[in-house]
Amino acid sequence: MKLATIILAAGKGTRMKSPYPKVLHLLAGEPMVVHVLETARTLSPDRILVVVGYKAELVREALRNYPVEFVEQKEQLGTGDAVRRCEGALADFSGEILVLCGDVPLLRPETLEGLLAEHRRRKAVVTVLTAEVEDPFGYGRIVRDERGLVRRIVEEKDASEKERAIKEVNSGTYVFQADYLFSALKEIRPENVQKEYYLTDVVEIAVNRGLPVAAHRVPEATEILGVNSQEERARVEGIFQDRLRKKFMKEGVTLILPETVYLERRVRIEPGATIFPHVVLRGETRIGPEAKVLSFCYLEDVEVGPGAEVGPGLRLKGWQVPPGTRLIDWGFKG
């Protein structure tokens, strides 16, 4: 079955207190929306649509090298309205539609694979990704019936006191059958506290039509963290950095004080390499096996050959360090 992905990236992000669109704030040196897009691409979707709005030209420029289609939401009238703007572009599309938020960058590919698998197993028209959290404040709550079936999603501002006590929350990530999605979106109304068109309303519409609705719970709740403030961005950055460090250590890389090492998504470090404290590795940097990067080095797009040693305290960009050499100060040392 064909798969299309819609990434919602139209918001301003008022609480970020920034002149930039929220999705362009950096996570490990790249805009958050790039992380979302790269994760989506692991599913090999047939089409990827990005909904833009606030300073749309900046988002288009950031994604200029990606094979995506842009859809504009000129007024931010809610997630339901944003997805509805894609109907024209997907008029001839028949299959599944994955909806992702451009400010939720920690989702793992295997989580989305599990979501799709559950959607297909249940033959659902809509499947929502959920999480169990200790503090559900701000999230839409998943309302289930006595049989445990999802009945609706209620937003924080519209929830009753009883509903606010629910700890299973909506991640903002869904899979829909295309034909159902766009027919249901015609029925949603901005009859809520925020006067917006909620995408969540299509869940209750499906239930009322007697159509199958499913939910897939994410194994690790931090995956659904969204970014709405600079503090939240910093928290997400910390989680992402910790993931990268643990990944490399599991593969056999020695990080002397891992919490002091900064890494980016495209960095590669071979097993047996040693990274000393307070090192920054950026871009397409490659560290070979048995190589050492000493403290306070900044390497961007640098290739360090097997057994080489760099630093301490060097700032390099675009260099190649031959195998087995020692680079200290500004020259090669034997």
Catalytic residue set:
15
Which residues face 304 on adjacent strands?
A: 287, 321
d(CA 16, CA 21): 9
Residue 249: Cβ within 10 Å count = 14
Q: Which of 29, 35, 15, 11 is nearest to 223 (CA)?
A: 35
Which residues face 274 on adjacent strands?
A: 254, 292
Residue 170: Cβ within 10 Å count = 24
Which residues face 152 on adjacent strands?
A: 143
Backbone conformation region of residue 82, classed left if phi is above 0, alpha if psi is from -120 to 50, else beta:
alpha
d(CA 75, CA 132): 32
